[in-house]
């Protein structure tokens, strides 16, 4: 269950999930600007009153969806080191890397982010979130004083997003585990050359 819907009445959760799924389904067929509230409620098999009980605009649904995706992205990114006092890349295993499981879980959203004009700003938001996570959680691990921490964080964020884009554009033909293994090998390879 999503972060924004935990602790809410099950009927509300069911209605909101139906509206969210309807919007995502419709966005796979046409642009957000061409989707009406009538389209959403008909696809969700709900009435307009139910929509307006929970949302004012269709963009509110999208915002709620993306807030949940971002929250899960953050949790997935931090998964390999959440219970570790001192993080060492040399001890990291591919099974601990969960970011590609996250992308797989939200594959329809990531496909829309990459291919839809309506969600183009979210690719930048994801990069920004990953950059901030790196700065918050790993800036102390940059031992070379010549390396600008902001630039290094950007490099890391865009590298991960680049892998995600390549994976999505390739139709997610590789498993999340394979992608995690590849990311780990790339990270270890980069550390060996430094």
Chain segment 25-52, per-residue pLDDT in tens: 999 999 889 999 999 999 999 999 999 9
pLDDT of residue 2: 52
192 pLDDT band, cuts 50/70/90, is low
Residue 88 has φ and ψ, to the nearest 5°, of -130, 120
Nearby residues of 83 by Cβ (< 8 Å), 6 or more positions away:
none
- Kindly report the length of the chain: 194
Q: Scanning the structure block, which residue is given the tokens 């067929």?
A: 29
Nearby residues of 90 by Cβ (< 8 Å), 6 or more positions away:
188
- pLDDT tens-digit map of 63-118: 999 999 999 999 999 998 888 777 777 778 888 899 999 999 999 999 999 987 76
Identify whether the C-beta of residue 87 lies closer than 8 Å to the C-beta of residue 141: yes
Identify whether the C-beta of residue 50 lies closer than 8 Å to the C-beta of residue 15: yes
Structure tokens of 141? 């691990």
Local structure of residue 13 (DSSP, 8 states):
H
CA distances from 158 to 22, 26, 70, 131, 147 (A): 31, 29, 16, 8, 17
Structure tokens of 83? 């219970």
Report the share of the chain in percent with pLDDT over 90: 68
């Amino acid at each position: 269950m999503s972060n924004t819907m935990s602790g809410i009445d099950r009927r509300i959760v069911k209605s909101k999930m139906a509206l969210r799924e309807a919007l995502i389904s419709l966005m796979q067929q046409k642009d957000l600007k061409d989707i009406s509230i009538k389209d959403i409620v008909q696809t969700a098999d709900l009435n307009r009153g139910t929509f307006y009980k929970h949302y004012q605009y269709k963009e509110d649904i999208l915002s709620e969806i993306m807030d949940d995706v971002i929250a899960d992205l953050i949790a997935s990114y931090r998964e390999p080191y959440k219970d570790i006092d001192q993080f060492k890349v040399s001890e990291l295993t591919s099974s601990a890397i969960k970011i590609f499981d996250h992308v797989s879980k939200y594959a329809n959203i990531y496909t829309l982010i990459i291919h839809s004009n309506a969600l183009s700003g979210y690719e930048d938001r994801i990069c920004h979130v990953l950059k901030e996570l790196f700065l918050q959680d790993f800036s102390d691990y940059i031992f070379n004083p010549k390396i600008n921490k902001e630039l290094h964080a950007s490099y890391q964020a865009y590298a991960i997003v680049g892998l995600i884009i390549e994976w999505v554009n390739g139709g997610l033909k590789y498993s999340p585990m394979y992608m995690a293994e590849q990311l780990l090998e790339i990270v270890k390879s980069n550390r060996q050359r430094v």
